[in-house]
Structure 1
């Protein structure tokens, strides 16, 4: 059995390399981030990606297992990456990431 240990550094490097297209081509990232829907369930192999023509604007990936939860969000245009790992699954990591983003830009004003 293989053990996978996710770290904030690993998720940061993973999404930045994906989004700079050093691991996969832009076409592959677009294809693997295409959403598949089944009722209210939406899945995508590489998570959600928002595009403007050929430019990747936002890439986020959320996952949970047992009581653990992780979110990585890269806003490429803003050059902002947020990585959150928790062992208290509350389903609120998107809200926490949005709050962190607002705090970053409030301190830059």
Structure 2
């Protein structure tokens, strides 16, 4: 009986391990974008090919999604985010597989580009 319980417990733990492994997010396959900001706008450049979906997380916590035809994004910083940190990442499909980038952070600036 004890052997059966041990085998069932081991089997259950193995199954839970497989579920936990499947639930972890994919590691970033693409490098984080390079971003800079100035004049209340920002520019981000990624290493994607073709259509790129950008995820911008504003200081307020809201997320903006932008789609571009190539690896660059040029957009305006909302006034409420000026002077605050913003996070940017992107994804794209390469060979039928979605590639995800790392995340970078920059400050939305109203003055000189940096």
> Structures share a fold, TM > 0.5?
no
Q: Which has a greater percent of strand?
A: 2
Larger Rg: 2
Q: What's the TM-score once normalised by structure 1's chain length? A: 0.30
TM-score when scaled to structure 2? 0.29
